[in-house]
């Protein structure tokens, strides 16, 4: 492809940042003219001084505007703060947007009309809601978010106005194509009053290349089932790690050989027999842990299509996921895994997996790895995006 592509995301880190970076780097590897513009390198939580205004805005959203009873994150003030160094988007045929809260000014939105094509990959629901990143069952985003349950009552007019602003900006882009990484998110976007009239397609996000490498050789004499949970912050209520811990504890009452590895920051309150806290890990370190794990548990209360599922699958790890968002669709795509709607269902799945024969387990690992690499590798996803860019 001879077209030039510019990826835009607030940060180089996080889920959206990783997707943008992997796509950009693979496009460069294939000889494409690709660039990546971002505001900060890391995330605001670990490096709040990297962009103080955005940090303050995020704090106001969390502690001033957000309703204490709403568990998903919101962005209202942060949408109004933009970088002091305007992004240069002129000169690119295709502008590929990712997570742009805090990255694009009103002027930037206007300049998007100059691009031959604008592609926007959705990473959550925020592009088509007035505030929330996950609506948690609220359908207000379909009509205007005028009674938003995510914020305190006094902030509801502000949220409704933000919804209208997004609608007006997006409706002015005749050259826009919207990409959802899951059927679930596409359905939500299609039902929205902001993106419902836009061109919408489903395309998987790419996993990092390291997870496509062959896994470490596995010891088939390993005794017991090893489950793993991965979350940036293990104490995040939305990640619902407590359910996985509870299920493993119940499973251990039947089979002491079931153990759990927790990867991420925090989680010290979950420590106990059969529970290992590994802390935060690099991608290569996580790959090694996957190679000695059997099952990935994702018990989140709200998710789109978390990359940890195909990353683990590419190393042969079977996903057990909550019946939430786009995760069941990932199980369908991979061909193996379990969807659970209760702790008891998860316990049963763990006990059943612990009795699987070595031969069957080996076959499943190979099938999962093949399916994950063929659909989620950077090469496969870049090839698929060429059709979106056309």
d(CA 181, CA 186): 8
- First CA to last CA distance, the chain: 9
- Return the structure tokens found at 256: 């002491």
Query: In this structure, are residues 300 and 324 in contact, taking their beta carbons and an 8 Å threshold?
Result: yes
Q: CA-based Rg of the chain, rounded to a whole angstrom?
A: 21
Q: Enumerate the β-bridge partners of residue 339.
A: 321
Domain extents for the chain? 4-203, 210-376
Q: What is the pLDDT of residues 167-214, one digit of tens each?
A: 999 999 999 999 999 999 999 999 999 999 998 999 999 999 999 999
Class of 4-203 in CATH: alpha beta
Query: In this structure, are residues 91 and 4 in contact, taking their beta carbons and an 8 Å threshold?
Result: yes
Q: Which CATH superfamily is domain 210-376 in?
A: Glycogen Phosphorylase B; (3.40.50.2000)
Q: What is the pLDDT of residues 79-133, one digit of tens each?
A: 888 765 556 777 899 999 999 988 888 788 888 888 899 999 999 999 999 999 9
For residue 178, give every residue at least 6 positions away whose Cβ sits within 8 Å of its Cβ, in sequence order, or none.
119, 120, 122, 189, 195, 198, 199, 200, 201
d(CA 206, CA 307): 8
Residue with tokens 């990143």: 133
- Segment holding 119, helix H or strand E: strand 117-121
Rounded mean pLDDT of 34-59?
87
Which of 28-42, 139-153, 243-257, 363-377 comes out lowest in average pLDDT? 28-42
Nearest to 231 by CA among 275, 286, 152, 284: 286
Q: State whether residue 57 is helix, strand or coil.
A: helix
Topology agreement, domain 4-203 and domain 210-376: yes
Taking the mean position of all CA atoms in its chain, how far away is CA 55? 21
Query: In this structure, are residues 275 and 263 in contact, taking their beta carbons and an 8 Å threshold?
Result: no
Give this prediction's pTM: 0.90
Number of H helices, E strands in the chain: 13, 12
């Amino acid at each position: 492809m001879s077209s030039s592509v510019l990826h835009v995301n607030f940060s180089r880190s996080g889920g959206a940042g990783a997707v943008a970076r992997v796509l950009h780097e693979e496009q460069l590897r294939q000889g494409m003219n690709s660039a990546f513009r971002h505001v900060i390198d890391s995330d605001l939580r670990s490096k709040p001084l990297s962009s103080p205004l955005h940090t303050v805005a995020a704090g106001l959203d969390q502690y001033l505007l957000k309703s204490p009873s709403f568990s998903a994150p919101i962005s209202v003030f942060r949408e109004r703060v933009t970088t002091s160094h305007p992004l240069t988007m002129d000169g690119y045929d295709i502008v590929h947007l990712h997570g742009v809260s805090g990255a694009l000014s009103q002027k930037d939105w206007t300049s998007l009309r100059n691009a031959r094509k604008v592609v926007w990959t959705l990473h959550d629901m925020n592009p088509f809601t007035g505030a929330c990143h996950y609506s948690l069952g609220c359908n207000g985003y379909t009509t205007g978010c005028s009674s938003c349950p995510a914020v305190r009552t006094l902030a509801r007019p502000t949220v409704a106005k933000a919804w209208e602003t997004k609608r007006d900006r997006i409706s002015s882009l005749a050259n826009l194509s919207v990409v959802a990484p899951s059927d679930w998110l596409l359905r939500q976007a299609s039902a929205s009053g902001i993106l419902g009239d836009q061109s919408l397609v489903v395309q998987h996000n790419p996993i990092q290349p390291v997870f496509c490498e062959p896994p470490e050789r596995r010891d088939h004499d390993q005794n017991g089932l090893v489950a793993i949970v991965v979350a940036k912050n293990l104490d995040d209520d939305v990640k619902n790690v407590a359910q996985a811990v509870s299920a493993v504890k119940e499973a251990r009452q039947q089979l002491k050989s079931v153990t759990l590895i927790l990867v991420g920051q925090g989680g010290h309150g979950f420590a106990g027999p059969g529970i290992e806290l590994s802390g935060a890990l690099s991608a290569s370190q996580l790959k090694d842990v996957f190679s000695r794990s059997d099952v990935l548990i994702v018990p989140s209360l709200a998710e789109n299509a978390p990359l940890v599922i195909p990353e683990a699958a590419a190393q042969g790890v079977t996903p057990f996921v909550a019946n939430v968002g786009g995760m069941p669709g990932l199980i369908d795509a991979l061909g193996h895994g379990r969807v659970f709607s209760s702790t008891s269902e998860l316990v049963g799945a763990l006990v059943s997996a612990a009795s699987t024969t070595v031969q069957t387990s080996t076959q499943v690992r190979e099938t999962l790895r093949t399916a994950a690499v063929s659909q989620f590798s950077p090469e496969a996803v870049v090839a698929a995006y060429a059709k979106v860019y056309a």
